[in-house]
C-alpha cells in the first residue's frame, strides 16, 4: 500500500498519482492541504525521505517569499512553519512502509514498486 500526500491542483502530483494507478498499486490519497500533517507526521516523513525540512520547502510560494525568505530557522521551526502553512510542503510525497520519495520528477515513485 502506498500513501500519496497529494494536491490535485498540482500537475506533478497528478502525474505521480497516474503512475501509481497505472502500476495497479493500492494507494491512499491524503490531500495534505485539507488534512494537514502534524509536526510528528512531518518528522516521520522527513525521516523516511532521509531529508531535512528545508529540503522540502516550496521556496517559490508567496508565503515563503513574504515571511521566510532569507531566514535561518531550526529544523523544528521549519516544521512548525509547514504545519502552519502547508503550501510550503513540496509535493507530492509518496510513502511505502519505511521509505518515501518526492514525486519530482513523477517517475521517482517507481522506486517504491
CATH code matching the domain that covers 2-112, chosen among 3.40.30.10, 2.102.10.10, 3.40.50.1980, 3.30.1490.20: 3.40.30.10
What is the pLDDT, as a whole number, of residue 39?
A: 98
Classify residue 85 by burial, with Cβ atoms within 10 Å: 0-12, 13-18, 19+: middle
How confident is the model over 17-64, as pLDDT tens digits?
A: 999 999 999 999 999 999 999 999 999 999 999 999 999 999 999 999
Instruction: Name the residues annotated as catalytic.
Output: 10
Q: What was the pLDDT predicted at 82? A: 98
Mean confidence (pLDDT) of the chain: 97
Q: Say whether 9 sits in a helix, a strand or coil.
A: coil
CA distance 98 to 86: 22
Burial class (CB in 10 A: 0-12, 13-18, 19+), 80: middle
The confidence score (pLDDT) of residue 1 equals 95
The answer to whether the predicted template modeling score (pTM) of the entire model surpasses 0.85 is yes
Amino acid at each position: 500500500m502506498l500513501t500519496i500526500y497529494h494536491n490535485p491542483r498540482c500537475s506533478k502530483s497528478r502525474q505521480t498519482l497516474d503512475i501509481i494507478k497505472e502500476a495497479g498499486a493500492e494507494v491512499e490519497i491524503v490531500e495534505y492541504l485539507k488534512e494537514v500533517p502534524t509536526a510528528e507526521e512531518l518528522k516521520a516523513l522527513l525521516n523516511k525521505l532521509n531529508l531535512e525540512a528545508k529540503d522540502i520547502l516550496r521556496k517559490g510560494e508567496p508565503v515563503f517569499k513574504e515571511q521566510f525568505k532569507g531566514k535561518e530557522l531550526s529544523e523544528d521551526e521549519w516544521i512548525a512553519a509547514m504545519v502552519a502553512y502547508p503550501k510550503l510542503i513540496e509535493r507530492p510525497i509518496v510513502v511505502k512502509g519505511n521509505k518515501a520519495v518526492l514525486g519530482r520528477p513523477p517517475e521517482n515513485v517507481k522506486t517504491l514498486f
